[in-house]
Amino acid sequence: QSALSQPASVSGSPGQSITISCTGSSSDVGAYNLVSWYQQFPGQAPKVIIYEGSKRPSGVSDRFSGSKSGNTASLTISGLQAEDEADYYCCSFAGSNTWVFGGGTQLTV
Amino acid sequence: QVQLLQSGAEVKKPGASVKVSCKTSGYPFSKFGLSWVRQAPGQGLEWMGWISGYNGKSTSSQKIQGRVTLTTDTSTNTAYMELRSLTSDDTAVYYCARWNIVINTGDFWGQGTLVIVSS
């Protein structure tokens, strides 16, 4: 159960698009289409913004999108806004009712 | 509305145990599981374990397996996480999250409980 690999930080200018990668293995990301992405602001609990790889919960902006290729999942944020500045975490089902998080990515806008 | 209310901050000495509670409301407890996730200061999220609200069966990460016990009290819709043999590495904010097995994600989270382990 090794943590999924994410870049420590990414940055972008308002209006641009950025992509955050999340690399796992054939035992987690590659085995299931069950990656979630969470957004976390300082001092707050995480909030799910993508589930099952590419689905958005009600109320989440369509500027957030998810995808997967092989053992790597990706989160894309289009039309960056200052309010998107936060930490982002991926999380994958890893079988047998276990899950694993990525190390997190700090987004600077 | 769905709410998860966690117990207050704790300060423990190395070697001690801590038990954190997570009282839920606003949804049928037995229809969902709960995960426990922790976050050390300045660090990322770490999945610790999951427990079924239906039958109390649980799983935990290999890293802390053997030191953690997850339980539920269906009469009060409350989940508990007990962590034993604490070290300074266990200093963290501990979160409970309603874990929606259908969509495999934590859709509602508690406010977090700070546990400090210090001599």
Q: What is the pLDDT of residues A32-80, one digit of tens each?
A: 999 999 999 999 999 999 999 999 999 999 999 999 999 999 999 999 9
What are residue A76's DSSP bridge partners? A19, A65
* Dihedral sign, Cα of residue B59, residue B55, residue B8, residue B36: positive
CB contact under 8 A, B45 and A1: no
* Number of residues in chain B: 119
The number of angstroms, rounded, from the C-alpha of B11 to the middle of its chain's C-alpha atoms is 17
Q: How confident is the prediction for chain A on average, in pLDDT?
A: 96
CB contact under 8 A, A46 and B45: yes
> Which amino acid, residue A27?
S
How high is the pLDDT of residue B101? 81
**Of all residues in chain B, what percent are helix, strand and coil, respectively (each to 5)?**
5, 55, 40
How near does any CA of chain A get to the CA of B7, in Å? 15
Report the SS3 class of residue B88.
Answer: helix
Q: Are B61 and A98 in contact (CB under 8 A)?
A: yes
Query: Chain A 70-109, CB below 8 Å of chain B: which residues?
Result: 87, 89, 91, 93, 96-104
How high is the pLDDT of residue A38? 98
Average of per-residue pLDDT across B29-53: 96
| Residue A36 tokens, joined | 């979630």
How high is the pLDDT of residue A13? 97
Selected residue of B6, B45, B94 to mutate for chain A interface (largest A Cβ count, 10 A): B45
Q: What does the alpha-carbon distance between residue A47 and residue A60 come to, in Å, rounded to a whole number?
A: 10
How high is the pLDDT of residue B103? 84
Q: What does the alpha-carbon distance between residue B32 and residue B51 come to, in Å, rounded to a whole number?
A: 9
How high is the pLDDT of residue A19? 98
User: DSSP of B30-55, one letter per residue?
Assistant: GG-EEEEEEE-TT--EEEEEEEETTT
Q: Is A11 touching B (CB cutoff 8 A)?
A: no
Selected residue of B105, B108, B109, B114 to mutate for chain A interface (largest A Cβ count, 10 A): B105
Average of per-residue pLDDT across B34-60: 96
Residue A1 has pLDDT above 80, yes or no: no
Q: Which of A80-94, B16-30, B93-107 has the lowest mean pLDDT?
A: B93-107
Query: Could you tell me which of A56, A60, A59, A38 has the C-alpha nearest to residue A48?
Result: A38
Contacts of A97 in chain B (CB under 8 A): 33, 50, 59
CB contact under 8 A, A1 and B106: no
Q: What does the alpha-carbon distance between residue B82 and residue B33 come to, in Å, rounded to a whole number?
A: 17
Q: Are A56 and A62 in contact (CB under 8 A)?
A: yes
Find the residue in B nearest to A97 (Cα): B59
pLDDT digits (tens, 9 = 90+) for B94-106: 999 999 888 889 9
| Residue B48 tokens, joined | 């610790």
Residue B60 CB partners (closer than 8 Å, separation 6+): B48, B49, B50, B68, B70
CB contact under 8 A, A89 and B106: no
How high is the pLDDT of residue B67? 96
Q: How many Cβ contacts (< 8 angstroms) between chains A and B?
A: 68
Find the residue in B nearest to A96 (Cα): B59
Report the SS3 class of residue B19.
Answer: strand
